[in-house]
Chain A
Amino acid sequence: MSSAIAQSGAAVARLLQTPAKQAVRCSRQHYLRLRAQRSPFTPALRSFSVGGRVMQKRYTEDHEWIDTSDPESATIGISTYAAKALGDVVYVELPVEGTEVSKGDAIGAVESVKSASDIMTPVSGTIVGVNNVLEEKPSTINKSPEGEGWLAKIKVTDESELSALMDAEGYRKFTEESG
């Protein structure tokens, strides 16, 4: 997914990390082509209800990200910063589909360097999908933590929780300050 984006359009990939007001400068035709390459359940047309959240990732202080560009369900993963800090991931515990979770609940764990690290959900909702690739190839998280290494898909129940999260620029500053 995002790795395809990175290879076919590095400039578009950078735009995906920036606030939505800059993203609208991307060619619509190119954007639709890239969206079509993603999960078959992702509609090719942009929903009018998505508005300013299109193609925007938001981040938590615990280094998880959530991508709300798909109106059907949001995607959760861990950030590149977190993947680097964790080291080589050797096992991923995924949540169970159908589980209802509240913001901040541990929905899974990642093992690296003998450490079992909890992954917290950035928002409340219901888990509607998990990335089974990680069961066979946990190293996918290290190779593409913000793309193919996504962890789970969640049906968000309270969209106001998203506003408390950091955008990409805010997260970048946060990681620089924490060292």
Chain B
Amino acid sequence: MIVWKRACRSARPSTRPLSSRRCLSQRTLDGLERPVQSYISTSRDPYLNLSIEHFLLQKSAPESTILFLYINRPSIILGRNQNPWLEVNLALLNASGHDELETEPPGLGIVDLVRRRSGGGTVFHDEGNVNWTVICPSKDFTRDKHAEMVVRALRTCSVDRARVNVRHDIVLDQGEHALCTDPEDTHSTPYQLAEADAIRPLKVSGSAYKLTRQRALHHGTCLLSSPNLNIIPDYLHSPAKPYMTARGVESVSSPVGNILLTNERFIAAVQEQFAKLYGAVDDAKDVGDEWREHSPVCKGYDELKVTDLPTTI
């Protein structure tokens, strides 16, 4: 059956001009009109994943709500209005881009540098971090709504220390079980310490937003099992910073930690909470390298590269 279908396709040459051929199927494009959609990426390419995310923001039906989950290979993601000279150890980045054998730590190999379209600060992505994105109509948007959804997902996985903080990030409280709090309240936990306490909560997820006329995009990281926690500060500390005055949004540093869940368990929990919030949705649709050929995605791909840097330091 499959062989027969393939033979038929190759037997009929396309009569459509090359410029109008789409690399995404009509069924995929029609899916952008569904009221609730769920996607998961099979690619680890940060430029592709962020391009797909932007495509979903721009082309999905204005009243639709979308969940998109993706994991990137080691990469540094700058906020839209940040200055890489202030945020990143560029020498380390360029060093890890060389072809020579790494003899000094951190030895991560190539680490991509990407400028995303949302605001906020610089974050480090790797395969122990899962990124979640929710796109919804502007009228339904609040800054905490989907961070609260992710906290509920974490709590179903017994991560009771997780809560949303005042900066709309997700943190793990580090205190003893001392307080009596409402388990439904995603902004407090029984382990919460006073603001002035020396033991700060560990940040496990940072949020950022892109707001257009009709649509709101909220995306965040989630540190589950990154093997690179001890070297992330080296990458995200610029030795040039004390000597420079520059425009650009500055990052707010926080101590970070791993939640210690598997990617699969977290992904399933978030998909479940999304379905609870927005109604049952079809199984998450895979997106991946084939989207790279679709011209709006391809156009967005190159726009994400950070180009205003020297090639050597």
Q: Which residues of A contact B168 (CB under 8 A)?
A: 113-114
Chain A nearest CB from B299 CB (Å) reads 16
Chain A nearest CB from B252 CB (Å) reads 9
**Contact indicator A91/B249 (Cβ below 8 Å):** yes
| Chain B: CB-nearest residue to A93 | B81
**Contact indicator A114/B213 (Cβ below 8 Å):** no
Q: Which residues of B contact A136 (CB under 8 A)?
A: 247
Binds B, one of A6-14, A116-124, A140-148, A154-162: A116-124
Q: Which residues of A contact B119 (CB under 8 A)?
A: 91, 111-116
Residues of A93-143 whose CB lies within 8 A of B: 93, 104, 106, 109, 111-118, 120, 135-136
Is A20 an interface residue when CB atoms closer than 8 A count as contact? no
Q: Which residues of B contact A62 (CB under 8 A)?
A: 213
In angstroms, Cα B79 to Cα A116, docked, is 9
Q: Which residues of A contact B210 (CB under 8 A)?
A: 115-116
Chain B nearest CB from A33 CB (Å) reads 36
Q: Which residues of A contact B213 (CB under 8 A)?
A: 62, 104, 106, 118, 120
Chain B nearest CB from A79 CB (Å) reads 15
State the main secondary structure of chain A at its contact with B.
Answer: strand
| Chain B: CB-nearest residue to A62 | B213
Is A90 an interface residue when CB atoms closer than 8 A count as contact? yes
Chain B nearest CB from A103 CB (Å) reads 12
The number of A-B residue pairs with CB atoms under 8 Å apart is 56
**Contact indicator A111/B212 (Cβ below 8 Å):** no
Is B224 an interface residue when CB atoms closer than 8 A count as contact? no
Q: Which residues of A contact B117 (CB under 8 A)?
A: 116
Given contacts A93-B81, A111-B249, A116-B117, A106 and B143 within 8 Å (CB-CB)? no
Give the number of chain B interface residues (Cβ < 8 Å).
Answer: 21
**Contact indicator B118/A116 (Cβ below 8 Å):** yes
Q: Which residues of B contact A116 (CB under 8 A)?
A: 80-81, 117-119, 209-211
**Contact indicator B80/A118 (Cβ below 8 Å):** no
Is B137 an interface residue when CB atoms closer than 8 A count as contact? no
**Contact indicator B247/A118 (Cβ below 8 Å):** no
Chain A nearest CB from B245 CB (Å) reads 11
Is B171 an interface residue when CB atoms closer than 8 A count as contact? no
Q: Which residues of B contact A112 (CB under 8 A)?
A: 119
Find B143's partner among A93, A111, A115 (CB 8 Å cutoff): A115
Is B248 an interface residue when CB atoms closer than 8 A count as contact? yes
In angstroms, Cα B143 to Cα A113, docked, is 9
Mark contacts of B107-150 with chain A using CB atoms, 8 A cut-off: 1 yes-contact digit, 0 otherwise: 00000000001111100000000000000000000010000000
**Most-contacted residue by chain B among A62, A91, A106, A112 (CB, 10 A):** A91
**Contact indicator B209/A115 (Cβ below 8 Å):** yes
Is B51 an interface residue when CB atoms closer than 8 A count as contact? no
Return the 4 tightest CB-CB contacts between A and B, nearest first: A114-B120, A115-B209, A91-B81, A111-B119
